Amino acid sequence: MYHQAVFDEPLIMELKGRRTLKLPHEDEKFDFNIPTGMERNQIGIGDREEFTVVRHFVKLSEMNFGADTDFYPLGSCTMKYNPKINDEISSLPGFKYLHPLQDENDIQGALKLMYELSESLKKITGMDAITLQPLAGAQGEFTGLSIVRAYFEDKGELEQRREVVVPDSAHGSNPASAAMAGFEPIEIPSYPDGTVNMEKFKEAVTEKTAAFMITNPNTLGIFEDKIVEMAEYAHSKGALLYYDGANLNGIMTKTNPAKMGFDIVHLNLHKTFSTPHGGGGPGSGPVGVVEKLKDYLPVPIITYDGKYHLSYNVPKTIGKVASFYGNFGVLVRAWTYIKMMGEEGLRDACERAVLNSNYMKRKIEQFIPVPGKPLKKHEFVASSHDGNLPKAGDIAKHLINKGVHAPTIYFPLIVPEALMIEPTESATKREMDKFIETVKETLTMKHEDLEREPTNLKITRIDDVDASRNPRPTYRIQKMSEKI
């Protein structure tokens, strides 16, 4: 059973300008130097009424933008609403106080949950085996490409297959993960309609190719309708197909990577399955594989024989990719979301995400061009490259000035002055219309006025180039010798 450690509030003592943090029942003291001028001995609210103090701090809290206050139209990020039931279930004492080193006999409920989540993800992706261990989408990519490496090393072909082919519309983590796994990324161009250039694809995919790595729908929100042909051609050259699952929200339950011919999939639970996103974590990037690759999965895997086990019986495993077994609280949230939604609910989420995306696209393309094939999936990319239109960065700053979150800008790189917009299924028509009208408003504004925005925030526009070339940090970390 778990042991719950109970700590009192740390005791803060001020001794001659130095504060010493002492944890209860411990003799060790941790010293922190607080720079002169940064110490605060009182809150500074004076003799105020309770309601004045409460209103002050509530107003400060409302200055934060969050998924509970409005929608994030961040293309490629899929910032959907996180249902509160996810947090409620993950906060149950039996989950909240688990320890990763507990005996598996004491964590059968947690193992059952993870096993069921794995089975759900297998069904959604069409894969034959799943690991929940990777702690982020990028780590999922690295895990998947490490499996590719181990597979070809086992076949004695690793020296020959040193290349991973990626489209120019790919997420930046794709070539980065390929390089980290020891491969050479080979970029191929897209057609003007936003899909992979098939001629260049066939030139690039050869007997030197270890894997072709692509997301579908792609980063322009366009479904790669030649994907089965690409899969067959890559397989004919002995290569594997890797599916970047970042955009699964646009096809969930309608089709799956297995039907397209993929061998390896990574998923972003913080995108498709409504777990928290941003702030540097926590994340979760499960990886699914077809039958011939399951013996290379990281250990442990979860098995069931009347009881649930963390099994290390994976003959050709790439080893561990995380200290323990994934970000459990995130896994609980994804399990809750899938159980709550069911297959019908997941299908509805996909359909609404695509509907919202195409609604916004049809409205915005009336005043800003949207390149590529007309039918989009979960997201679309507008281009304000026309000299008569404001720059993408100026449009983003105006949105922020109006209290509307900006979309992803300047990505993908193949679209100049890109505005990458993804409302997800969580956005209401009112929110989308407000966003559209605020973007349209920039077309009537003077260039010099746009360049001064934002004007109503605590921090106005900074000079990005100067900030990068001439950083002026306001806090200098003291050397250890200065502390002694």
**For residues 302-307, average pLDDT:** 96
Query: What pLDDT does 468 receive?
Result: 87
Helix (H, G, I), strand (E, B) or coil at 50: helix
In the chain, residues under CATH classification 3.40.640.10 are 84-340
Query: What pLDDT does 278 receive?
Result: 65
Question: In this structure, what DSSP letter does residue 422 have?
Answer: -
The predicted-structure confidence for 193-213, as pLDDT tens digits, reads as follows 999 999 999 999 999 999 999
| Nearest C-alpha neighbor of 273 from the set 205, 197, 349, 216 | 349
| CA distance readout (Å), 280 to 270, 287, 294, 327, 328 | 12, 20, 30, 13, 16
**Which residues is 311 bridged to in the sheet?**
301
Band of the pLDDT at 457, cuts 50, 70, 90? Answer: confident
Query: What pLDDT does 70 receive?
Result: 87
Query: What pLDDT does 22 receive?
Result: 43
| Nearest C-alpha neighbor of 298 from the set 132, 149, 114, 137 | 132
Please give the backbone phi and psi of residue 194, each rounded to the nearest 5 degrees, phi first.
Answer: 95, -5
Q: Which fold has domain 84-340?
A: Aspartate Aminotransferase; domain 2 (3.40.640)
Tokens of 108: 């059968």
The predicted-structure confidence for 349-366, as pLDDT tens digits, reads as follows 999 999 999 999 999 999
The predicted-structure confidence for 168-196, as pLDDT tens digits, reads as follows 999 999 999 999 999 999 999 999 999 99
**For residues 80-90, average pLDDT:** 94
Q: What is the pTM of this model?
A: 0.85
pLDDT of residue 260 exceeding 60: yes
Residue 287 near residue 119 (C-beta atoms within 8 A): no
Tokens of 391: 């720059």
15-29, 204-218, 253-267: least confidently modelled range: 15-29
Helix (H, G, I), strand (E, B) or coil at 184: strand
Q: Each residue of 302-341: b (16+ CB within 10 Å) or e?
A: beeeeebbeeeebeebbeebbeebbbbbbbbbbbbbbeeb
Residue 270 near residue 86 (C-beta atoms within 8 A): no
Residue 168, number of CB atoms within 10 A of its CB = 15
pLDDT of residue 113 exceeding 80: yes
Higher pLDDT residue, 26 or 105?
A: 105
pLDDT of residue 332 exceeding 70: yes
- Average pLDDT of the chain? 89
Band of the pLDDT at 283, cuts 50, 70, 90? Answer: confident
25-29, 73-77, 265-269, 325-329: least confidently modelled range: 25-29
What residues have CB less than 8 Å from 27, skipping those under 6 apart? none
Higher pLDDT residue, 229 or 17?
A: 229
Was domain 344-469 assigned CATH 3.90.1150.10? yes
pLDDT of residue 7 exceeding 90: no
In the chain, residues under CATH classification 3.90.1150.10 are 344-469
Tokens of 270: 């913080």
Angle between helical axes of 328-364 and 108-125 (0-180°, round to 10)? 30
Range with top average pLDDT, 24-33, 139-148, 272-281? 139-148
What residues have CB less than 8 Å from 442, skipping those under 6 apart? 390, 394, 395, 398, 450
The residue ranges of DSSP E strands in 418-458, in sequence order, are 418-421
**For residues 386-391, average pLDDT:** 94
Task: Please report the DSSP string for 221-273 in residue order.
Answer: S---TTHHHHHHHHHHTT-EEEEEETTGGGTBTTB-HHHHT-SEEEE-HHHHT
